[in-house]
Amino acid sequence: MRARPTRRRPATTSGAAVALALGLGLALGLGPAPALAHEGDGDVATNTRGARVATAGTGERMSFVANLQYDRSGEAQQGSDIEFARIGGRDYALAGTLGKGLQIIDVTRPRTPKRVAVFDCDISQGDVQVWRHRHRVLASYTADGSVGAAGAASQCGQDLELAADDAGTVILDLTVPSRPRSVSWISVPEGSHNMTIHPSGRYLYNSNSDLLTTGAEPEVAIFDVSVPSRPRKVQDYRLPFVPTSLGSESHDVTFDRTGDRAYVAALSQTLVLDTSDPARPRQVGQIVDPAVNVVHQADPFSVRRADGSWRRLLIVTDERAGAAASLECPGGGLHVYDVTGGLERNPVKLGAWFIDAFTVQDGATCTSHVLRVYPQQQMLTIAWYAQGVRVLDISGLATATGGPTTLAFGDGIGMREVGSFAFADSDTWSFKTNRINRDGSFFGYGNDLVRGFDVYRFRGLADRRVPALVPRDLRPPKPRRTTAAALAPVAVLVPSAAVALWLRRRQKVCSGPGKVPARTSSA
């Protein structure tokens, strides 16, 4: 049987709903379940599909547009992370997979996505980061566990001479998207669950997401990639050991726009780091929240109050039980903290938000997963595994109040679900967009463990306008000649023309009566 999407109901915090949504797992003795998502080959699909994926589903202000399969097997497509890059005037989705390589998909025309290349790198997790380095477009692609025989035999393994027991991250060149090529290998024996590029483009922070059983010295490995062909390890930055949840290792790192702060989602804790010197981070704050089972992602953003002041907030996702198949929806939710100014040292919780879906699952995972915040638009997109994809309006967070026990389902604590779509065979890992129109409408892209690459259309916000989100082109600019270089040919031509004119006049004079024609040297 399959977990089927449920229709939205009015938000509620009734005792029955809370008991089902939050207490059923504890009542049945779940606790921290084994987290297959964080070791070895990464997540596994928990939903099922037919030979063809479903094309009809349930949605609110959203519609299904297109699907692209990564192979013709008719089986789980193993989609994982997704990122975007605009290169040479065209938009590309970079869709990671568990063992099927990096899928490079042209989404310039979102209704007809077209795969232009596959980076042949048979490794698992497939977390993607992309950045510009001088005149090149680079990306990182992660191996959570060892690359295995298949990874070593694939093109990236051969290019980089990888052994089956190697683990870490590949750096590749995407300057020509149709011809991706290997650049270098970053060895991380503990594995790379996620890699995060610092806004400077000079440093990568590694998250291994290992479990408590691997040791009591959690760390974030920091690498200098200013010379991409020769990445250099800077240090292992030690994290506090918090023996709760599944462990204390970093699962993911998010930098703020300036690069001065990093927010470390470390399974049992969330850390705020001062990264104004990214080679030597310094801990500023820490959140240990017993209401969060598995700290999966921590994303900062700012919202402007009516008086013109700014409020700094942090959204932490709870990947309950590490995405092990869950017994109930909505699973883990979004936990919101105020980190404005000095509050970053001791963040203040505003509450927790959950999707408005209350079901008993039949094995398919239901919990929050990869999100993206769009600060200027005050919007958020998130994947919720078997419950598909969601769009939130978070503009209300500018004035929201609450506390550690405040719960919201669908609408509350300043966040309101404004769009959703789910199929019977949904198992969506990540959901993001690269463009947003002024009415809030956009084409969104889901990367799904079961379905592969999905395109959705969100109809937009009904009650407000937003600044347009337009991607910056990472294409290396064509080398431009300096003014001196551009004028050099003119500088040569002008004297040459003057000499030629003088010689011509001289020739006429010398060619008069009784004169011998002048001779010019050919030297």
Q: What is the pLDDT of residue 42?
A: 52
Q: Is residue 200 helix, strand or coil?
A: coil
Residue 448, judged by CB atoms within 10 A of its CB (0-12, 13-18, 19+), counts as buried
CA dihedral 328, 329, 332, 335 (to 10 degrees): -140
Q: Is residue 29 helix, strand or coil?
A: coil
Say how many CA atoms lie within 13 Å of 351 toward its Cβ: 18
pLDDT tens for residues 469-511? Answer: 999 999 855 666 554 444 444 444 444 555 455 445 544 444 4
Q: What is the pLDDT of residue 487?
A: 47
Q: What is the pLDDT of residue 212?
A: 78
Burial 505-518 (b: 16+ CB within 10 A, else e): eeeeeeeeeeeeee
Q: Are 40 and 145 in contact (CB under 8 A)?
A: yes
Residue 493 parent element (H or E): helix 483-510
Distance (Å, whole) CA 98 – CA 113? 21
Q: What is the pLDDT of residue 220?
A: 97
Q: Are 67 and 452 in contact (CB under 8 A)?
A: yes
State the pairing for strand pair 442-448/428-432.
Answer: antiparallel
Q: Are 136 and 476 in contact (CB under 8 A)?
A: yes
Q: Are 331 and 315 in contact (CB under 8 A)?
A: no
Q: Are 205 and 222 in contact (CB under 8 A)?
A: yes
Which tokens go with 26? 């504890």
CATH class of the domain comprising 63-458: mainly beta
Distance (Å, whole) CA 301 – CA 79? 27
Closest CA to 187 of 212, 214, 165: 165
pTM of the model: 0.86
Q: Are 168 and 188 in contact (CB under 8 A)?
A: yes
Mean pLDDT by 10 residues, the chain (523 residues): 33 40 38 41 82 97 98 97 97 98 98 98 96 96 96 98 98 98 97 97 96 81 98 97 90 97 97 98 98 97 95 97 81 98 98 95 92 98 98 97 98 98 98 98 98 98 97 77 49 47 48 36 34
Distance (Å, whole) CA 95 – CA 103? 5
**In the chain, where the domains are located:** 63-458
Task: Please list, in sequence order, all residues whose beta carbon lies within 8 angstroms of the beta carbon of residue 172, skipping any fewer than 6 positions away.
Answer: 102, 119, 121, 138, 139, 140, 141, 156, 180, 181, 182, 183
Q: Which residues pair with 102 in a beta bridge?
A: 119
Q: What is the pLDDT of residue 373?
A: 98
Q: Are 417 and 8 in contact (CB under 8 A)?
A: yes
